[in-house]
Amino acid sequence: MNTTDAWIRERTGIVKRHIAADDETTLDLAEAAARQALDAAGLQSNDIDLIVVATTTPDCVFPSVACLLQQRLGVTNSSPAFDVQAVCAGFAYALSVADNFIRAGSSTTALVIGAETFSRILNWEDRNTCVLFGDGAGAVILEASNEPGVLSTHLHADGRYAELLHVPNGVSRGYDVVQQQEAFVQMRGNEVFRMAVRKLQEVVVETLAVNNLDKSEIDWLVPHQANIRIIAATAKKLDMGMEKVVVTVHDHGNTSAASIPLALDTAVRDGRIKRGEKLLLEGFGGGFTWGSALIQY
Ligand code: COA
């Protein structure tokens, strides 16, 4: 392919990424992340009474990855399980849905996962897309509590931009077997880049305003990991030094819905993020979809 390691590092910040093994699926990655989250929270499978999986690369048309995962984990309490599809904003969407279930009193302990095998929807001959994405999964558990946790979530979409970033066919339209690229990600990178920067800046300003917070009160920015230059632009808007931004794009590439929980997990486990700190999570993806969550960890 007509590309270089230097170009990829300089234009995206990506140094390495992970590709699922041939016999591994999104469900396998989701299960590994879920088990780590259960261990970290000290919970048993049947303590979970809601599973929301953010994914754009499910194992099957149906059942959802969430239902398959419920069976894998041995959750037998008949609690709801479903997938949310908002591409790279998927984790923000799933977190918001679970938070609202808990706020409404419908759930007490929610397992929220972002899991993707984006490598399966890449055209490996398209240098505009195939160098960017990787596979992965990350999970969090939310529990009902009187202590502050998810302070607010903010979701947006604008379907007018659908064609700038899409897999143009699917189940209902069918796949064009002659034009195989129709089953893969297509992107107008430059336009997506500009829109991502603008919408992420808007949503962080919105999040601060709704919570009556000053920029300086955010301890950590945990952004979707698409491109280091998009991340840096959002940090600049917040007047935040890069030392306060969790960056994993060099290790994972863009793992779509998995990228925020993977970044969060990295910074919690290495001790950077501490209990009580305020985290601003944000993501942007195809649709377009975008969103944020302000969290007191
Ligand atoms: N290797 C080498 N050259 C490449 C390349 C690659 N993998 N991909 C594109 N190029 C070339 C282009 O063809 C173009 O060449 P030209 O000037 O001869 O036409 C040149 O690099 C510049 O392309 P451009 O698209 O302007 O580069 P860019 O600085 O915008 O970087 C992206 C490209 C894709 C890295 C960047 O636009 C981006 O990150 N966009 C957002 C992608 C994204 O985040 N998507 C998911 C949202 S969740």
- Residues 247 and 228 sit within 8 Å (Cβ to Cβ): yes
Helix (H, G, I), strand (E, B) or coil at 238: coil
Q: Name the helix (H) or strand (E) containing 204.
A: helix 189-210
In this prediction, residue 182 carries a pLDDT of 80
In this prediction, residue 278 carries a pLDDT of 98
CA of 117 to the centre of ligand 1 (A): 22
Single pTM value for the model = 0.97
In this prediction, residue 264 carries a pLDDT of 98
Residue 254 is a catalytic residue: yes
> Which of 95, 113, 146 represents a domain boundary (last residue)?
146
- Using one digit for the tens of pLDDT, what is the confidence trace for 150-186? 999 999 999 999 999 999 999 898 877 666 668 899 9
Whether residues 19 and 96 share a domain: the answer is: yes
Of 67, 88, 154, 252, the active-site residue reads 88
Number of domains forming the structure of the chain: 2
How far apart are alpha carbons 250 and 9 in whole angstroms? 8
Whether residues 96 and 200 share a domain: the answer is: no
Residue 60 is a catalytic residue: no
For residue 113, list its beta bridge partners: 53, 139
Q: What is the span of the domain harbouring residue 94?
A: 5-146
Whether residues 163 and 91 share a domain: the answer is: no
Among candidate residues 219, 182, 224, 187, the one with its CA nearest the CA of residue 203: 224
Q: At CA 54, angle to CA 168 and CA 124, rounded to 5?
A: 45
In this prediction, residue 180 carries a pLDDT of 66
Backbone angles phi and psi of 25, in degrees to 5: -125, 175
Ligand 1-lining residues (CB < 6 angstroms): 3, 7, 11-12, 88, 127-128, 131, 187, 189-190, 192-193, 196, 226-227, 254, 284-285
Domain containing 77 — which CATH number? 3.40.47.10
Whether residues 170 and 140 share a domain: the answer is: no
Backbone Cα Rg of the chain: 18
Helices 228-237, 5-12: crossing angle, 10 deg rounding: 20
> Which of 92, 122, 146 represents a domain boundary (last residue)?
146
> Which parts of the chain have pLDDT scores under 50?
none
In this prediction, residue 178 carries a pLDDT of 63
